[in-house]
A and B are shown apart, each in its own frame.
Chain A
């Protein structure tokens, strides 16, 4: 049985890492475990359970800032800021439905370690863009801080950016400060029906370059649309564009958008309530939920130039019967491929190499994640640099070693 260490505070996290260093052990860092199934399948000697580090320690809505211990449930933070008319603008997705069906299990630390975002990524950025300050314990067993509690700060290297998306391979975060932003007063979503991927891509590009100022743009091909309640009745492909803001602004921009979209196909609208539910489904990629019809498929998350998304999706559909969902105006391609012991990694990476971008194998059995590269392999100079960065924080490879790449 794996040893579990459960520190009660930040000082004990430092002690725990020093214990691991002294005993030559490796640690798996866990908040509430909601994303444990993502990453290379590796073995660790012990679990560093941070779940006791929970609670919001500072929230000043007028200063747009919130601090919390790292394993504070994201749901708790989202409820708190919502009660003050605010939100986390990066719209962190919930991996629960994709991985095991449970929702609302993630922590703020996990959201940052995985650099989560959602449909609003194209307008408001990812977790990295809202990460103001951190206290963390590096793989050297030393507590350090970076950043602060103010938005504008160029004092020293921005280690928050580096920790965002590092999957716990550099340091165990203990305290976090993020930016909060006002939540839009209302929202509405314009739907365009029955577009082919390529044409949907063109429309989304046109809208994103217009005064419509859409905060989200997704394309749901026909086979997937029936899996989202708000658009199931369309019985065909649905392209969706979200408008957020004050009511007079949304009304004005809706007119701009409809004028632009009318030549493409039939139009529909989702009102505020339906719009919120729909974008939550897109955010959490529920058409590929573990409990749904695609639940056993291997799932890739691919970031590419928006104008190339359709080409990539169509190639994967044609060559391996992929089911594909497009977010970020085409720049985020979720591809669910029939389960295989190679997870179609070669096909995905070769197709992507010609197009540009990076692919991560989000869901596959552990044996598959042990056999194929989960994160995008890097060219030699970049891989060596990444390894040196890793070693600078954690020379012994104590924290989440091997979670991203072998040795990193």
Chain B
């Protein structure tokens, strides 16, 4: 663990008993957890290299309780870390030793299903998959499908702006959320959006989505639900060079085809997945592409013909089409199990999440191989090829001294490379604590200050999830100061009329 968290506030810790008692008055019964053993499950999220116990865990059940907890913490200057299902891969829900861990797991109700307006109103603790399940009888679903969808919650999806394998065609969380009820750190409750489209004023919903729990606590979410496509078929296409695979992806999109899903795996990932799932993946290829088309059967077949033609023209060495729903799911089974599959061939792995302009893929893969040699660690790649979101999995053994550190340095180098070629640090996993200190690779201090001032507009004392996203914490008063450069420049060159 190499990231420094905010220093513990001894004055707050000295008042722990008093704070716990006050929280118990707001959330009665078992909703406040203060014993070390019972708090243990909350010590980390999906990024398990980082862990620590919170001062106290609070599990509210109503918006009123959330509001009262936040208002109390605001008044008493107690830090708060919100948590959904704890599946974050960037440490977004890492507890603070002098902070309240605010678990939203009890917000489990689906409040409204409205097919006429194609929306569902759900509480933030409802899992991603449960939303789709609640509407599937009528043939609807919720489009964003992060691979943790069985466990991850809608509240967490909003916090992280989660994606999934279908987001090239159907968008990420931000494109599929219409409204939310948000409790500010002050305890004030605001309603953003609803069953209608677009914001009445500033698009605060848009900026809250993906804000990693730093701007407010979501207590209700209105999501867009869609009619499930009539059919879906997938093509499994193998290439002897990753460049050919990349070219194929570019040409498919260039031909005006936006597949429902388009995923690529490199040789080590293919091998690991095939050995684990036996999906029938070819083992003699350097890159494997899964292209899924969805919609009416007539459209799917028509476009798959075109995809096959493009694949052949790009030098594909194998190409199989799914001929049944079972076969389609089998094609996906390997890809969806890629992470655990890699987990079988290495004691530990570290999953990265950069996004690059797709054309840079061959260069990035080549440079990554060089880094792999330099650090003495293997790397396997799975890639949301349609949108350029790369998930290199760095294989290491935490029991070997120095390997975790090397894996982290390797990962940081990969992310810097993503930024260098015109991409970004994180496509869907979030900054959290993990990539916090890499933010200056992408943003100047002025860029970051504009972001942090926005945080100040929501949370003037920096109490909500501090230590995440921003490498340096500034006081709002200091950030807010204006530096007018009066007289320094006369602006003689500006054309005036």
A residues sitting closer than 8 Å to B (CB atoms) are 3-8, 12, 15-16, 18-19, 21-22, 49, 60-65, 85-86, 115, 117, 121-122, 125-126, 128-129, 138, 140-146, 148-159, 161-162, 164-166, 170, 181-183, 185, 205, 208-211, 213, 245-246, 248-249, 251-253, 256, 303-307, 328, 331-332, 356-358, 375-376, 378-379, 381-382, 385-386, 388-393, 395-396, 404-405, 408
| Nearest CB in chain B to that of A130: its residue | B175
* Contacting residue for A210 out of B227, B257, B455, CB 8 A: B227
Q: Which chain B positions have C-beta within 8 A of A253?
A: 296
Question: CB distance B203 to A375 under 8 Å?
Answer: no
The 4 closest A-B pairs by CB, nearest first: A161-B206, A249-B299, A182-B256, A358-B200
The dominant DSSP class at the B interface is: loop
Q: Which residues of A contact B253 (CB under 8 A)?
A: 62, 64, 182
Closest to A250 in B: B299
- Is B431 interfacial (CB 8 A cutoff)? yes
Residues of A within 8 A of B430 (CB): 154
CB distance from B109 to the nearest CB of A (A): 21
**A19–B207 CB distance below 8 A:** no
List, in ascending order, chain B residues with CB within 8 A of A159's CB: 207, 450-451, 454
**Would B427 and A143 count as touching, CB distance under 8 A?**
no
**Cβ < 8 Å to A, chain B residues 236-293:** 250-251, 253-258
Complex: A358 Cα to B202 Cα, angstroms: 12
Known: A148-B423, A356-B194, A392-B453. 9 other contacts (CB 8 A): A85-B256, A150-B387, A155-B442, A162-B202, A205-B115, A379-B190, A382-B201, A386-B201, A391-B457
Binding site for A on B (CB under 8 A): 114-119, 138, 140, 160-161, 163, 167-168, 171-172, 174-175, 184, 188-192, 194-204, 206-207, 209-211, 227, 230, 250-251, 253-258, 295-299, 302-303, 355-359, 384, 387-389, 422-431, 435, 439, 442-444, 446-451, 453-458, 469, 480, 482-487, 489, 491, 493-497
CB distance from B440 to the nearest CB of A (A): 11
**Cβ contact within 8 Å between A22 and B484:** yes
Look across to chain B and name the residue whose beta carbon is closest to the beta carbon of A383.
Answer: B201
A138 to B483, CA, bound (A): 13
Q: With A and B bound together, what is the CA distance between A247 and B192 in angstroms?
A: 40
Which residue from chain A places its CB closest to the CB of B479 in the assembled complex? A392
Asked if B230 and A211 make an inter-chain contact with CB atoms under 8 angstroms apart, the answer reads: yes
Contact status B161-A331, CB under 8 Å: no
7 inter-chain pairs at a CB distance below 8 angstroms, sorted by A residue, are A3-B497, A154-B428, A156-B469, A159-B207, A248-B299, A249-B302, A252-B296
Chain A contacts of B258 at CB under 8 A? Answer: 181-182
Question: Are A141 and B206 in contact, with the CB atoms below 8 A?
Answer: no
Q: How far is the CA of A381 from the CA of B389 in the complex (A)?
A: 38
**B191 contacts which of A12, A144, A382 (Cβ < 8 Å)?**
A382
Determine the distance from Cα of A319 to Cα of B400 in the docked complex, in whole angstroms.
78
**Chain A residue nearest in CB terms to B203:** A161
B357 A126 Cβ-Cβ under 8 A: no
- Which residues from A are CB-within-8-Å of B206? 128, 158, 161-162, 164
- Partner among A63, A149, A404 whose Cβ is within 8 Å of the Cβ of B201: A404
Are the CB atoms of B426 and A122 closer together than 8 Å?
Answer: no
* Cα distance, A141 to B163, chains bound together (Å): 35
Q: What is the CB-to-nearest-CB distance from A121 to chain B, in angstroms, rounded to a whole number?
A: 6
Q: In the complex, how many angstroms separate the beta carbon of B425 from the nearest chain A beta carbon?
A: 5
Partner of B388, one of A122, A150, A185, A252: A150
How far, in Å, is A116 (CB) from chain B's closest CB? 10
The answer to whether B210 touches A158 (Cβ under 8 A) is yes
Residues from chain A with Cβ under 8 Å of B497 in the complex: 3-6, 49
Within the complex, the shortest CB–CB distance from B211 to chain A, in Å, comes to: 6
Selected contact of A150 from candidates B204, B427, B458, B491, CB within 8 Å: B427
Q: Which residues of A contact B489 (CB under 8 A)?
A: 15, 18
A148 / chain B contacts, CB cutoff of 8 Å: 355, 422-424, 442
Q: Measured between alpha carbons, how far is A129 from B176 in the docked complex, in Å?
A: 10
Q: Would A152 and B172 count as touching, CB distance under 8 A?
A: yes
Considering only CB atoms, which chain B residue lies closest to A380 in the complex?
Answer: B188
Distance, CA A151 to CA B167, complexed state (A): 10
CB pair B454 A331 closer than 8 Å? no
Whether A393 contacts B450 by the Cβ 8 Å rule is yes
Q: Could you tell me if B424 and A153 are in contact, using CB atoms closer than 8 angstroms? A: yes
Provide the bound-state CA to CA distance between A370 and B297, in Å.
Answer: 55
